[in-house]
């Protein structure tokens, strides 16, 4: 439930749960399902699941061999911002170098549709 739920909606949600229905707000449900569908191939690994959607995009471009400047140009980000994302990605994946992050992505993802 969202914090701004009205009391009547809260009562309806409690009754819905009592009937075995989902109490999730439809907007939240849609957001979660969209995220799972888009990043489904990344969610199979615990460390990759830690990445934000923007970090996933940066990592995909890094794994494609792009430099920070090229990633920044592609995603309309400053090179320094990309560097910060890369540092965060390395930390979350518990690796030391870009090449290791790219290799990690290759080892721990499945090809969508395969």
33 lies in the same domain as 83: no
59 lies in the same domain as 106: yes
82 lies in the same domain as 99: yes
The total number of structural domains in the chain stands at 2
Q: Return mean pLDDT, the chain.
A: 81
Domain with 55 in it: what CATH number? 1.10.10.10
Domain that holds residue 99: 39-114
This prediction's pTM? 0.60
pLDDT mean over 51-71: 91
Residue 108 CA, chain-centre distance (Å), reads: 15
25 lies in the same domain as 46: no
Query: By mean pLDDT, which of 15-24, 27-36, 39-48, 104-113 is the weakest?
Result: 27-36
56 lies in the same domain as 81: yes
What confidence score (pLDDT) does residue 107 get? 85
19 lies in the same domain as 43: no
């Amino acid at each position: 439930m969202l914090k701004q739920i009205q009391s009547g909606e809260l009562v309806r949600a409690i009754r819905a749960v009592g009937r075995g229905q989902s109490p999730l707000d439809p907007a939240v449900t849609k957001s979660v399902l969209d995220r799972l569908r888009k990043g489904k191939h990344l969610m199979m690994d615990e460390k990759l699941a830690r990445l934000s959607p923007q970090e996933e995009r940066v990592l995909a471009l890094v794994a494609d061999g792009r430099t920070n400047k090229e990633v920044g140009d592609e995603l309309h980000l400053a090179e320094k911002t990309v560097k910060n994302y890369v540092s965060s990605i390395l930390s979350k994946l518990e690796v030391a170098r870009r090449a290791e992050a790219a290799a990690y992505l290759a080892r721990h993802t499945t090809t969508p549709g395969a």
